[in-house]
Amino acid sequence: MTKILITPRSLTRTGHPALELLKEAGYELIFSTPGRQPDEEELIRLLPGCVGYLAGVERISARVLESAKDLRVISRNGTGIDNIDAEAARRLNIRICRAEGANARGVAELTIGLLFALVRWIPFSDAGMKNEQWTRRKGIELENRVLGLIGCGKIGKQVAIFATGLGMKVIAFDCSPDYSFSPDNFNWVSEDELYMKSDIISLHLPALEEGKPLINKETISKMKSGVYLINTARASLIDEEAVLEGLESGHIAGIAIDVYAQEPPSDYRLVKHNRVIATPHIGGYTSESISRATRIAVDNLLKNLQ
């Protein structure tokens, strides 16, 4: 019986009805350690003999791929593939498939949730009350505030629709702008114009080439003093040292983050800062997003393996 490896934490923990389609097609399902992101050694132990791989956000190195002599298809249960050594996959003739748009709604809704939490300091206030401390931080109202979106694909567009519905002005920069998208109170702008005009900046783009940070000392210096940042995209997009420096100086009023270079993080300095709101990569962690992503990932495996 040919085998398929399943590694997303949401699926190894509780499974999903869509996986039954793989069993019905004659595949044996192999699961990594339930609820835990597999490391390189676990992947090297489990992948040999597998023709398919339904993958999460774990790092999939060239060494891992080279150990999987029978592997033909990696199907992500999300859109990002920067965790996969794509060059090694091409060299080994392993196809990579994505569940495009599956988690767009979930990530967009989390972004708006973090936006409210950040500008009104909701977690800070809650923590104080639970510690019997009556401590307050002044917030801002969102009406007529400028939200800058760096990256405006499916997730960014959904965020823009939500934000304009709140009375915000939305501007966006994208390397390949879709000019057919033009709701009221929305404009496409240059990257520098976005930095200069935005009260809040939210990131919705893939990792840059070679993992270079987009938010660094230079770009932060172009931003308004007191800017708020939100990153639900990729950890490598921000230079943590530069952001910490900006938080300490007050140039950055606060930042909300949902993605980390290592998950769980090995360095909690940014997470523990009192002007940081941190969530454990829950953008696409909704019942609906998981179901959509799993169904698409399973369909991609069946189409490409058969």
More confident residue, 14 or 240: 240
Residue 64: phi and psi, rounded to 5, are -65, -45
Q: Is the distance from CB of 54 to CB of 77 less than 8 angstroms?
A: yes
**Averaged pLDDT, 183-205:** 97
Residue 67 is predicted with a pLDDT of 95
Is the pLDDT assigned to residue 82 strictly greater than 90? no
**Rg, the chain, Cα only:** 21
Question: In the predicted model, what is the mean pLDDT of residues 206-214?
Answer: 90
| Cβ(170)–Cβ(199) below 8 Å | no
Percent with pLDDT over 90 in the chain: 92
260 and 155 in one domain? yes
- The reported pLDDT for the residue numbered 80 is 82
Do 184 and 222 belong together in one domain? yes
Q: Note the Cα 123 to chain centre separation in Å.
A: 21
| Together in a domain, 151 and 79 | no
For the stretch 5-21, pLDDT in tens is 999 998 999 899 999 99
- Residue 79 scores a pLDDT above 90: no
Residues 169 and 79 both lie in one domain: no
Q: How confident is residue 54, by pLDDT bands cut at 50, 70 and 90?
A: very high
Number of domain units in the chain: 2
Measure the CA angle with vertex 280, ends 283 and 81; round to 5°.
55
Same domain for 111 and 68?
no
pLDDT in tens, 253-275: 999 999 999 888 999 999 999 99
Distances in whole angstroms, Cα of residue 42 to Cα of each of 31, 38, 47: 11, 6, 9
pLDDT of the residue at 76: 96
Question: How high is the pLDDT of residue 198?
Answer: 98
Mean confidence (pLDDT) of the chain: 95
Q: 231 and 161, same structural domain?
A: yes
Q: Are residues 36 and 76 in the same domain?
A: yes
Q: Are residues 111 and 252 in the same domain?
A: yes
Q: Just list the catalytic residues.
A: 234, 263, 281
Domain residues for the domain of 44 are 3-102+286-305
pLDDT classification of 1: cutoffs 50, 70, 90:
low
**What is the CATH classification number for the domain harbouring 249?**
3.40.50.720
Q: Which of 146-150, 206-210, 214-218, 302-306 has the lowest mean pLDDT?
A: 206-210
Average pLDDT over residues 146-159: 97
Judged against a pLDDT cut of 90, whether residue 133 lies above it is answered with: yes
Q: How much is the average pLDDT of 159-163?
A: 98
Mean pLDDT of 73-99: 93
pLDDT for 78:
87
Q: Averaged over 217-226, what is the pLDDT?
A: 98
306 band by pLDDT with thresholds 50, 70 and 90: confident
Among residues 177, 180, 181, 179, the alpha carbon closest in space to that of 191 is found at: 177
Using CA atoms, how far residue 116 sits from 15, 149, 268, in Å, is 33, 16, 23
Confidence label for 116 from pLDDT (cuts 50, 70 and 90): very high
Residues 10 and 57 in one domain: yes
Q: Are residues 36 and 79 in the same domain?
A: yes
Is the domain of 145 the same as that of 247?
A: yes
Mean pLDDT over 286-294 rounds to 93
Q: Give me the phi and psi of 2, to 5 degrees please.
A: -75, 150
Whether 212 and 295 share a structural domain: no
Closest CA to 113 of 223, 210, 31, 202: 202
Q: What is the phi/psi pair of residue 204, to 5°? A: -145, 55
